[in-house]
Every structure is written in C-alpha cells, then in structure tokens.
Structure 1
Amino acid sequence: MAYIIGIILIIIALIIAGLILRKRIYDEVDRLEAWKMDIMNRNIASEISRIKNLNLSGETQEKFESWRERWELIVTKELPDIEEYLFDSEAAADRYRFSKAKKMLRKTEEVLQSIEDEIEKMLAELNELMESEESSRKEIEQIQPTIKALRKQLSQNRYQYGNAEEYYDSEIDGMEKQLTQYNELVGSGNYSDARHLVEELKQDLDNLQTQMEDFPALYTACKNDLPQQLNELLNGLKGMKDDGYRVEHFGFEKEIHKYQHRLKDCVSALDQGEEELAKEMKNEIEERMAEMYQLLEKEAVARNYMENKIPVYREELETLENDFLITKEEVDELQKAYYFEDSDMEKYLVLDKAIGQLKKQLHMINDEMEQEMETSHSKLRSELENGFQQVEELQKQHDDFRKQIKNLRKDEVTAKEKLADMKDDLYQINRRLSKSNIPGVPGFIWTLMEDASNKNVRVLDVLDKQPLDITEVQKALSDAESSVNQVAEQTDMVLDQAYLTEQVIQYANRYRSQYPVLSAKLSESERLFRSYEYELALEQAAKAVEEVEPGALKRIEEYQAAN
C-alpha cells in the first residue's frame, strides 16, 4: 500500500513540476511576443523617411535604400519567422519537450536582440546624418557673411596690406571656391564629405581672420617702425661716440646693419603671407634693442659716475696714504724702543703694499679716462667701486693697527704700575708678619717672598731692555704676579693657623687638670707652636680637644670667624 502511495506522490510531483516548467515557457513566450510586437509597432519607416527632406542622391540615396530594405526585411521576413519560433516553442512545451523549447526561445531572443541592435545603429546613423546636415548648414550661414566681410575689409584697406593683398585675395577666392564645392556636395547628397569640407573651411577662415587682423601692425612694424627705430639707435650710437662715450666694444653697429637687412627679408615674407618668420624677427629685434638701450644707458651712467667719483676716490686714498705715513713715522720711532712681533710687522707691510697697489690702480684709471682707451666706463666703474671697498677695508685695518701700536706704550705703563703694586704688596705682607704676635715666620714663607722679589726684579730688567719686548714683559709680569699671590695666600694661611692654634690651646686649658693625656698633647702642641710648626701644632691641639669635647673645634672656628 505504501509503495503505491509513493508512486502516486511521485507522479503528482512530476505533473506539478511539468506544469511549472510549462508555465515558465509560456511566460517567456509571452515576453518575447510582446518584444516582437513592440518592434513591429515602432514607426521606423517614418523615421527613415525623414531623410527625404535631404537631397536623395549619391551617398544619401544609398543609405536611404539600405535602411529601407533592411527594415522591410525585418518586417516581412524576420519578425514572421520569430512568430513561427514562438509557436513551435509552445508546442514543444505542451509535449513536455522543455529542452527543445528553451533552445528555440534562446535563438528567438538572439534574433530579437540582433534586430534591436540593427535598428539602433540605423537610427544613430540617421540622426548623425541629419544633425551633420543641420550643423553644416548653420555654420555655412555664418561663414558666408564672414568671407564677404573679409573681402570688404581687404578692399577698403588695401594700403595696409601692401603686396600681400594678392595673397589674401587668393586665399579668399579659395574659400569661395570651397563654398561652391560645399553646395555641389550637398546637391549630390554627399553630406559627410560636405561636413568635412565645412570643418576644414572653418579652420582656414579662423586662421585667415587672425592673419588679416595681425598683418597691418606687423607689416607697419617691419616696414616702417623697426627700421626707423634701428636708424634712431644707430644715430644715437654715433652721437655717443662723438660725445666721448666708449661704445665701440659693444659691436652694436654691425648688429644693427644685420637686423636692417633681415627686416627686408621679413617684408618680402609678409608679401607672400608668411607671418610667423616676421613675428619671430619682430620680437627678437624689439628685445635686443631694449637690451642695447639698457647697456648704453648703463655706459652713460657709468661715465657720469666716473667723472664724479674719481675726485672723491682720490681724496679718500690720499687721506689713507697720509694717515699711513704718520703711522709709518710712529713705527720707525717705536721700533727703537719696542720689539715688534712678526705678525704685527706683516700687517704693517701688507697695508703698505695694498696702499701702493691702489695708487697704481688709480693712476691706470686716470690714464684710461684721459687717453680715451678702449676700456668701457662700465668696466672702469666696477674697478673704481672695488677700489672704494678696498680703501674702506684698509682704513679699518689701519685703525686696528694704530690701536695695536698705541697699546705698546700703554702696556708698558700698565706693567710698571702693576710692578709697583706688587712691590707694595710684598712690603705690606712683610709688615703684617712683623706686627703679628706669632713666635716666628716659617722658612718657606721667606723663601716664597725672596722668589717673588727676584721675579719683580726680573720684570724690571725686561722693562729696561731696548727695544722693549712687550710679550716678554707680560710673561715676566704674569710669573711675578703668581709668586706674589702665592706669598699672600701662604701668609694668610700661616697666620690663620697660628691664631686658631692659640684659641684651641686656650679653650682646652680648662680640661688640662682633669685629663693628663690632653695636657701632654697640649704641651706637644705648644712646643711645635714655638718651633713655627703651626700646621702640626694646630693638628695636635685640635685632636686633643676633640677627644674630650667633640665638635669643639668647629665652634672655635666659628667664633674666630665672627671676630
């Protein structure tokens, strides 16, 4: 029983699946049928008939016949064939031959898509042709009056175009021939060729308009203005030469003559309608003339500068030379009393040589200005400006050198004053030691004082030398100063140690009766004190009192410092 039910269910499932697949086939047939009817209902023939508004001949006739025949083939053959395919697909679906039905539907869709592509291509070509015709017609309507205007402009202003009038006449004639050719192409239905011709004609017309607008000014510049300007520049050069300006080295005359000949070639080129060469030459000449005027102006300014500044430069150089002569006399005198370092003498000799070279340079500049040599004023100005800078720099170096030699005497006076101060310092130290209540002065203090005294004598000996070597004086002075400072430091230390030792012993005496060991150490400290061994005496006394009363030494030191 279950087996039978299973079979029944399978059969029912197959029937349902078949119905679903057949329904899908029917739906696809309906879709393709609607697509086919949409194509049939389109007014393609009416669209194609729009071309009849044009001249049906030549290329246009060929396209019209091609599109019409193709549309008739679609309507009479291909679309009816599609109807048969759709009918066969439904029949196959009714017999549950779904694979065959799907294959036929795919083929039908491919045919319909091919028809759609062809229709789209036909309409695109049609629209392009119609738009091309309309666009060309409108542009021709604008081109015709423009050509007439150019003809009128040339006729009314022939004097502005000179011999180039024939060239422009010929160009305009050519454009009018192109208009005639355009009408012939349109009349024969060749609208594509007509379109290309219009685009070419429009470009040529734009170029011709630009040329005719630029030509009068360019022609006038090359034929009249620039030759006149070159003549004026040439006359100006001659005038400057007559006035003494040095302009030969520029070579402008030869260059101007070359430009004059080239301008004649430019005019000949313009007569043939060749403007590019003339434009380039015009710009080149204008730029070069501007450069020439700048150089000539620079030369004129340089000459004026030289005439005004040479006296100023001569005066500054003479002032420097006179100041240096005074310095030279001072150096000759000082060399008798002072020793000059090699570096100082080198600076002196460099100054002397540099001033001499500037004098030679000034003499050369004067000769070139007076004898009208070939050297340009611009170059001479550069040399003179450099000379001003050198004079300024040498003046600074001279001032520094003078300060340096003046310091020789100042250093000698300072050294003598310092030597007197150090002698007084030693006297005060000796007096301080004599007035102190210490038992005596340690021997090393007397040795240091003797050494300091000897070094002071050494300073005095160096100061008495002729010529005086300040460097040697300063070294001897530094050595003596170090020795005097050492005597002062050691003396202060000895006196401080002696006074502190007395204070410590006096403070520790309060414990002498109680601590025998302390008493013995204090006695040793007193012995050392009387033997001038103040450092050892302080060490012995401090150690003794610290053992009895820690911190006592610090309090004693603070008390001594406060008093």
Structure 2
Amino acid sequence: MLQVLIGLIIIAAIIVGGLYIFRKTTTNRVNDIKAKKYRLVELHVEQELQSGLKMSLTGESLEEFKQLQTSFDQIRNEQFKAIDELADNIAREIKGINVIKTQSDVKMLDNLVNVAQHDVTQTRETLNDFKKIDQKHRQAVSKLEKKYQELRKQLLSQNFKFGDSIDNLEDELSKLEDEFDKFSTLTTNGDHASAKEILATLEVNTNHLESLISVIPGLYKKLQSDYADQLAELKAGYTKLVGDDFNFNDGNIETQIANVETQRVAVLGKLADLDVDAVTKADETIERQIDHLYELMQTEIDARPQVTEIMPQVSKFIIHAQNQNHELMLELDRLGQNYTLDHGELETARGLGEQIRQLEKDYQNDLNAIEAKQAVDSDILARQQEALVQLEQIEKQQTEINDSVSGLQNDERRAKETLRQFAIDIHGIKRHIEGLNLPGLPKAYLEYFFVVSDEIKKLDSDINKIKINMEDITKQLLIVQSDLETLEEQTNDVKDSAQLAERLLQYANRLRENNAEVEAAVQKAQKLFDEDYDYSASLETIATVLDKVEPGSYKRLEDNYYGK
C-alpha cells in the first residue's frame, strides 16, 4: 500500500514538473512572439504614412496611397488587436491543464504575427516606391527641362548646320516641350501614375531627337557641301580631260554626274523630313557613285604617261621580233635543204610570225587611235602590256628553235667522224680475226659481224644523202656503237676459246695413247674445232676430260694462257 502511495506521489510530481516546464517554455515563446509584434509597432509605419502625405499626391497615385493607408489601418486596428487578444487568452490557458489547445493557440499566434510582419513590410516597400517615383519624377523634371533648354539653344545657335531640317527639328522639340509641360504638371500635382506613362514616351522621343540632332549635321555637310564640291570638281575635271583629248569607255560620264546631282538634291529633301534611315542608305550610294567617277577619270590620267612610255618600247620589240623571225625562217629554210626538221620548227616559226603580225596590227590601230585623239588610254595600256608579255614569250620560243637547229652542222661533222672510226674499228676486228688463221668462224659470229657491217654501210649511206635526218642518224650511231662493242666481245670470246682449245688439245695428245676416254674426247674436240668451228664447245669437251683424268690441269693451263 505504501509503495502504491509512493508511486502516485512520484507520478504526481512528474506531472506537476512537466506542467511547470510547459508553462515556462510556452510563456517564453509567447513573450518572444509578442516582442516580434512589438517591434512591428515600434516601426511607426503610421508616421511614415503621415510623412507620405507631404508628397501632395493626386489622381490615381492618391487613390493608391489611400488604399495603402486603409490596408495599414486594418493591420493596426484588426491584426494587432487580434494578436493581443489571443496572447491574453494563452496567458490564461497556461494556468490550466489543456496543453493541446494551448499549443494550437501558440501556433496561431505565431502565424498571425508572421502575416502582420509580411503586410507591414509590404506596406513600407510600397510607401518607399511612392517616395522613389516621386523623387525620380521630380529629378526627371529638372533633367528634361535642362536638356530641352540645351537642345533649343543648340538649334538656335547652330541652325546653319541643319539646313532645311531645322524647321522639323524645332517642331519636334516643341512637341516634346508640350508633353514635358504635362509631365511636369502631373509630377507637381503628385499624379505619378499618369506621369509615369508620359515619362516613358518622353524619354524615347527625346533620345530620338538627340540622335537626329547628332547625326543630321554630318549628313547635311556631306550632301550640301562635300558632295556638291566633289560633283563640281568632277564636272570641271571631266570638261578639262575631254579638252585634253581624254576618252572613256563609259561615254555618259557627264550624264552620270548630273544624275548624282539630282539624287543629292532629292536626298536633301528627305533629310529635311528627318528620314535619316533613308538618307543614310542614299548617302552610301551617292558616295560610291562619286568614288567610281573619280576612279574612272584617275585611271585614264594615270594611264596616259604609261602609254606614252610603253608605245615606243612595243614598237622596238615588234621590229626586233620581226627581224628575229625573218632570220630564223631563212636559217630554217637553208637547213631544211640539207636536214630533216621533224619537230615542226618551220610551222612554229610561221605561227610566231602570224602572232607578230597581229600584235603589229593591234599596235598600229592603237597608234592611229592616239593620233586621231580617239584613244582610251587605259585600254591601250592593258593591250600593249599584254603585247609585251606575248613578245617576250615569242622571243623565248625563237631562241629555243634556233638553239635546237643551230648545232645540226656540228652534229653532222661529229657523226661523220664517229662513222669513220666505226669503219676503222670493224676493219680492225676483221684483220684481227683473220690473223688467227682459224679453219673457219662460227655461223652466229659471222651473221652478227655482217649485221654490224651492214649497219655501218646503211649509216654511211644515210649520212651522205643530200637531205639527212640528224635525229635518225644519232639513233643509228648509238645502235652501231653498242653493236660494235658486242662484236668486239664476241671476237675476243672466239679468239680465247680457239687458242685455249688448241693448247688443251696439244696437252691431251700426250695422254691419249694410254687413255681411251682421252682419245675419244680429243677426236670429238678436234672435229668440233676443224669442221664445226665451234671453238667454245671444243674447249669444253677437252677441258672436261682433262680435269677428270688430271684434276686441276685445265685451271693451270687457263691461268697460264691469261698470264696469271
């Protein structure tokens, strides 16, 4: 029983302690929330609103301000009051034991204060916006008033820079000043909502007018002064150039100058109407046309002294090329009687002659045009510069043709000397082979000997014709040279094979009586030597059997023959 009592006492103590802690923490939290609300009151927003009345607002702005005051009165009279009443209720509830309801009311109290804080902050921000726009509009009044005074002063003091545009510029400025007066009145009266719309339009239109005032003087100067002076200079320059016998491919230059002048006057009219975009595009076109006209005239002016300089050069070059081609044709004709010219030298030279005649014709036409004062100098300059290039190419081709045929006589002389040496060489080969006193010569050797001999005879016949082909002669010389070298090699082979075979047969005769194989080989080798004239086969037959009967004997006899 005692234990139960003690347990109940402990539970009661815990409950009492818990309630104490709950009341303490809840009281602290409520005090914090009330302090938060008190700080909102301490902002004295009502005083800020009272000072806002000094802005002397009217119209839509005044209505918006009144709504702002009404909203804050609701915050102060209703929201703040509800917060205070709920805080008092919570203070009473804390003394009881309805913990759940107390906690719910504390949350509600916190929400009410947060909402009030948000509404107060929004009220102050809106009020601050009113002050800012009031300040902005009043500054804009001062700024725009000063700017319009400056623009008016600029238009009055520099009206000569704007030409006929000045009237429309002043009209635009007057319209802006009228709108500015409306804006200034609305701002002074505090109707900032209406003033805001006018200010936006004023700023755009003012910037546009400033841009016009900035751009127009430059455009006007170019159109009224610069282009007018340039066109006058072009007209006077063209007249003088025509008087100095200058001609132009573009024959309507005077008309072009007049057309540009018409455009200039028309564009000045657009500038007076303040159509700057159209004027800017037209200005670029006029400038481009004027530059083109200057370029046309300058091209002919620059070409005249160059034409004066180049014409004598071309004349001398043409005469030189004609003389060169005449001499080349004579030389080719002379050489053509004795030599075959198979690379089209004559045809090429004739073609060069035709080119020279055409260049001379063009030159004469240009010279006649100059004398008749009908020449377009730039055209003549281009044509004669190209003529110089062609004449240089012609001279190069003439030189190449001359170089290719100038050595024909020397080539013929050297070819005859080489032919004479070939005849000596083959005669020497013949005497050498005959001096061996062989029973006969191999058929293949004789055939090759006569082939080379016939080649030399043909070469001799071709080189002694009335008209010879040196290119063909040169090819024959190379063939005969090669074949003679081969014939000399074959002659040496026949000589060496025959003499070695004789030595080996003499050596084998000492062995034949006691060796039937040697006897048979000697007879076979002797037959190949005496009847078939196949000295290499004879040598191979006897050498093979000697090496078999007496190894190393062939090598010893061969080394002895070659003097090793």
Contact 1:337 1:468 in 2 (8 A): yes
| Counterpart Cα distance in 1 of 2:111 and 2:143 | 48
TM-fit CA distance, 1:180: 1.9
The C-alpha deviation readout for 1:227-258, integer Å capped at 9, x for no partner, is 23211210110110111000362422111112
Quick one: structure 1 residues 276 and 526, their matched pair in 2 at CA, closer, same or farther if it must change by over 3 Å?
same
Aligned length: 549
> Structure 1 stretches of 5 or more lacking a match?
1-7
Is residue 391 of structure 2 the alignment partner of residue 391 of structure 1? yes
Range with greater deviation from structure 2 (356-365 or 432-441): 432-441
SS of structure 1 residue aligned to 2:250: helix
Partner of 1:467: 467
TM-fit CA distance, 1:384: 1.4
TM-fit CA distance, 1:530: 5.8
SS of structure 2 residue aligned to 1:468: coil
| Counterpart Cα distance in 2 of 1:94 and 1:514 | 160
Partner of 1:447: 447
| Counterpart Cα distance in 1 of 2:191 and 2:513 | 151
Is residue 290 of structure 2 the alignment partner of residue 289 of structure 1? yes
| Counterpart Cα distance in 1 of 2:244 and 2:307 | 15
TM-fit CA distance, 1:509: 10
Quick one: structure 1 residues 325 and 41, their matched pair in 2 at CA, closer, same or farther if it must change by over 3 Å?
same
Listed as ranges, the matches of 1:52-131 within 5 Å are: 52-78=53-79, 80-81=81-82, 117-131=118-132
Listed as ranges, the matches of 1:261-280 within 5 Å are: 261-280=262-281
TM-fit CA distance, 1:485: 2.9
| Counterpart Cα distance in 1 of 2:150 and 2:477 | 107
| Counterpart Cα distance in 1 of 2:409 and 2:400 | 15
Letter in 2 for 1:535: S
Partner of 2:173: 172
Listed as ranges, the matches of 1:367-378 within 5 Å are: 367-373=368-374, 376-378=376-378
Partner of 1:359: 360
TM-fit CA distance, 1:449: 1.6
Listed as ranges, the matches of 1:178-217 within 5 Å are: 178-217=179-218
SS of structure 2 residue aligned to 1:339: coil
SS of structure 2 residue aligned to 1:260: helix
TM-fit CA distance, 1:544: 4.2
SS of structure 2 residue aligned to 1:265: helix
> Structure 2 stretches of 5 or more lacking a match?
1-7
Partner of 2:320: 319
Letter in 2 for 1:59: E
SS of structure 2 residue aligned to 1:392: helix
Instruction: Compute the RMSD of aligned alpha carbons.
Output: 4.5
SS of structure 1 residue aligned to 2:414: helix
SS of structure 2 residue aligned to 1:244: coil
Partner of 2:420: 420
Contact 1:90 1:101 in 2 (8 A): no
Contact 2:260 2:286 in 1 (8 A): yes
Quick one: structure 1 residues 168 and 547, their matched pair in 2 at CA, closer, same or farther if it must change by over 3 Å?
same
TM-fit CA distance, 1:110: 6.7
TM-fit CA distance, 1:200: 3.7
Contact 1:249 1:376 in 2 (8 A): no
The C-alpha deviation readout for 1:389-417, integer Å capped at 9, x for no partner, is 11111111111112223244344333323
Letter in 2 for 1:142: K
Is residue 235 of structure 2 the alignment partner of residue 234 of structure 1? yes
Quick one: structure 1 residues 91 and 396, their matched pair in 2 at CA, closer, same or farther if it must change by over 3 Å?
farther
Quick one: structure 1 residues 153 and 96, their matched pair in 2 at CA, closer, same or farther if it must change by over 3 Å?
closer
Partner of 1:402: 402
| Counterpart Cα distance in 2 of 1:161 and 1:345 | 78
Letter in 2 for 1:423: A
Partner of 1:3: none
Contact 2:359 2:387 in 1 (8 A): yes
Letter in 1 for 2:303: A
Contact 1:167 1:271 in 2 (8 A): yes
Quick one: structure 1 residues 193 and 454, their matched pair in 2 at CA, closer, same or farther if it must change by over 3 Å?
same
TM-score normalized with structure 1 length:
0.80
Range with greater deviation from structure 2 (391-400 or 507-516): 507-516
Contact 1:133 1:195 in 2 (8 A): no
TM-fit CA distance, 1:316: 0.5
Range with greater deviation from structure 2 (451-460 or 463-472): 463-472
The C-alpha deviation readout for 1:504-554, integer Å capped at 9, x for no partner, is 789999999998757865775566456643322343355446557888878
Quick one: structure 1 residues 398 and 248, their matched pair in 2 at CA, closer, same or farther if it must change by over 3 Å?
closer
TM-fit CA distance, 1:321: 0.9
TM-fit CA distance, 1:458: 0.8
TM-fit CA distance, 1:134: 2.5
Contact 1:299 1:376 in 2 (8 A): yes
Quick one: structure 1 residues 395 and 110, their matched pair in 2 at CA, closer, same or farther if it must change by over 3 Å?
farther
The C-alpha deviation readout for 1:426-468, integer Å capped at 9, x for no partner, is 1332344345587764343232222111111111222233332
| Counterpart Cα distance in 1 of 2:279 and 2:125 | 48
